A = this chain, B = another copy of it.
Amino acid sequence: MITWKNLDTVPAYQKLQETTPVALASVMSGEQGAQRVQTYTVPMAAGLAFNYAARPVDDETLQALSRLAEETQLAEKFEALYNGEVINTGEKRKVLHHMTRGQLGEAVVADGVDKRSFYVEQQQKIAELANKVHSGEITNAAGEKFTTVVQIGIGGSDLGPRAMYLALENWAKVNHTFKMEAKFISNVDPDDAAAVLHTIDVAHSLFVLVSKSGTTLETLTNEAFVKDALKNAGLDASRHMIAVTSETSPLAKSDDYLAAFFMDDYIGGRYSSTSGVGGAVLSLAFGPDVFAQFLEGAAEEDKLAKNKDMYQNPAMLDALIGVYERNVLGYQSTAVLPYSQALSRFPAHLQQLDMESNGKSVNRFGEPVNYPTGPVIFGEPGTNGQHSFYQLLHQGTDIVPLQFVGFQENQMGRDVVIEDSTSQQKLCANVAAQIVAFACGKADENRNKNFEGGRPSSIIVGKQLTPQALGALLSHFENKVMYQGFVWNINSFDQEGVQLGKVLAKKVLAHETDGALKAYSDLLHI
C-alpha cells in the first residue's frame, strides 16, 4: 500500500536533519579521501559508474537517506509507475516513457493496446522508413536521395533530440554509421527557421514535424515557414515531411506527410527522447541500429533504477543526496559539467528535464508544500566552464553542488601530445583536479587566493561516450528527477506553469489587452 506524504511529515526526514554535517574538506583529504573514492561508487549500465565520494555524506547520512527511501516508498512508487498506475495525477495519465526502451514490470494496456507493443511497433515503422531513405527507396520527386533531416519542434521535441544528436554526431562519423546531417528549427523567432533554411538544400531535405497535440503554435508556424520555402523551390511539401504526433492529433491522418509516427499522452515532452520524438531524427541521422543501442543503454540503466537497495541504485542515490543538499544544506542550484564537447547541449536538456519536472510549489494533491523543491540547473562543458563561471563555483558566497561527467577516451580518436600528455589526458586531469579542488580547497594566507573547499560534486565516469553510454546517462537523470519528485511528493509529469504565458500571448495577438500588457505591447510595436 503506497501512501503519498509531504517530505516534512516523514519521520526519516527529521532524522536526516539531525545528522552531523560532513566536513567534506577533511574527509576527502589524505588516505581517507582515496578510500572514499574507491568505496563511494556504484556501477551503472554501459560500463559507467556513479562516484559520489565528493558529495557531503558519510555512513550516518547515507543510512538516514536509506531510511528516507524506505519511508517514502521510492522503489514501490517507481514500481507503481512502470506497472501503469496513474502517477501523473494532475493530467490523470499513466507515465510510460520507460516502456519505449523495455518492459520493467507488468504489461500495460491503454487505449485498448499493449503499450510496449505499440512503442516497439512505432520504432519498427521508423526503422523501416529510415532504411528506405538511406537505401534510396524513398527519395525526393526527382528520384534523388535525401541528405539532410530537419527536426521542427520545441521544448521536449527539440532540446533532448538535439542534445542526443550532438552527443553522437562525431561518434557516428568515425564509426561509419553517419547517414544524414540533422538540423533543428525550434524558436518562433522567424530568424531561426530562416537561418537553418539558409544553410541547407531543401530539395534534398526531409523535415520531421514533432508535436504531440498537433497544435503547438511555434511548431505549426515553423512548419508553415518551411512549407513556403519548399513551395518557392517548386517542391511538393508532402514528399518532404513526416510527422511525429499522437494518433488523435489533426496531423495523424493528414495527406500533408509522407508518413506519421505515433506517440501518446503517457510520455511527456521532456521524457520523449527515447520515443519517436527522438527516434525519427536519430534513426534517420545515424541509422536504426544506433538508435537501438541508445535504447539498450537506457533500458539497462532503468533496470538498475528498480533496485530497492539505494546503494545499488545510482539514480535513487543521486536523487536522495540531492534532496539532502537542497533541503537540509539549503543549496539552491546545481551545475551539470560534462567533460566532453559532444555533451555541449546535454546540460540544456537536463535543465528542462529537471526544472520543468520539479519546479513546483504544490504537492500531488494541489496543496502548497513548505520546503524547497527543484533547484535551478545550469551548465556548460568543461574545460570551457573552468575559464568562465567556475570562479563563482570555487570562491562565490553560495555553494553550488556539481554533477561532473567524464570519459577515459574521446570519440574521434585524433589527438596531439603537448608537454608530454595528450589533450584527452589533459581533459581527464582537469576533471580529477576540479573535484579535489572543490572538495578540499587550499588554505592561503592571502585570503584572495584562499579556497575554503567543502564544495560537493559527484562524477559519472565511463570509458567512452557511445550510444549505450548516452542512453544510460539519459535514463539516470530521468530517474533521478522522478525519484526527487517522489521524495518531494510533487507531480513531476505535468507543467501547468507554462499555461498562463500562452493565454496572455494570445490576448496580445488578439489585441484584447489593457493595463501593463497593453503598455508592453505598445513598447514592442505589436
Contact = CB atoms under 8 A, between A and B. Distances in A.
Interface stretch (A60-68, A287-295, A377-385): A377-385
21 contacts: A37-B520, A53-B519, A154-B387, A155-B386, A158-B384, A169-B195, A188-B426, A188-B430, A190-B412, A190-B424, A225-B414, A332-B376, A333-B333, A359-B391, A361-B395, A373-B397, A408-B524, A429-B524, A434-B501, A434-B504, A436-B516
Interface string A154-176: 11101100000000011001000
A147 interface: no
Nearest to A408: B525
Nearest to A389: B355
A498 B186 CA distance: 35
Contact of A380 (B348, B387, B422): B348
- Tell me the number of copies of this protein: 2
Contacts of A393: 359, 497
B194 A412 contact: yes
A496 B448 contact: yes
B433 A341 contact: no
A449 B389 contact: no
Contacts of A169: 195
A48 B298 CA distance: 48
A194 to B, nearest CB: 4
Which of A383, A461, A506 has the most B CB atoms < 10 Å from its CB?
A: A383
Interface in A388-410: 388-398, 400, 406, 408, 410
A173 to B, nearest CB: 7
Nearest to A435: B520
A386 B37 CA distance: 39
A221 B426 contact: yes
A224 interface: yes
A144 interface: no
Given A34-B519, A383-B218, A516-B436, A225 B416 contact: yes
A419 B221 CA distance: 9
Given A37-B520, A504-B433, A400 B387 contact: no
A440 interface: yes
Contacts of A194: 170, 412, 414
Given A217-B419, A519-B34, A429 B389 contact: no
A437 interface: yes
A339 to B, nearest CB: 7
A421 B508 CA distance: 11
Interface string A221-233: 1101100100000
Nearest to A226: B416
A240 B189 CA distance: 37
A89 to B, nearest CB: 9
A416 B226 CA distance: 10
Contacts of A419: 217, 509
Which of A53, A221, A377, A448 has the most B CB atoms < 10 Å from its CB?
A: A448
A186 B344 CA distance: 12
A134 to B, nearest CB: 21
Closest 3 CB pairs of A and B: A359-B392, A155-B387, A33-B516
Interface stretch (A108-116, A246-254, A364-372, A471-479): A364-372
Contacts of A369: 397
B392 A356 contact: yes
A100 interface: no
Nearest to A223: B418
A128 interface: no
Interface string A202-236: 00000000000000011011101100100000000
B461 A524 contact: yes
B195 A333 contact: no
Contact of A389 (B359, B412, B500): B359
A190 B339 CA distance: 11
A451 interface: yes
A241 to B, nearest CB: 16
A501 B390 contact: yes
Interface stretch (A24-32, A78-86, A258-266, A311-319): A24-32
A351 B414 contact: no
A493 B380 CA distance: 22
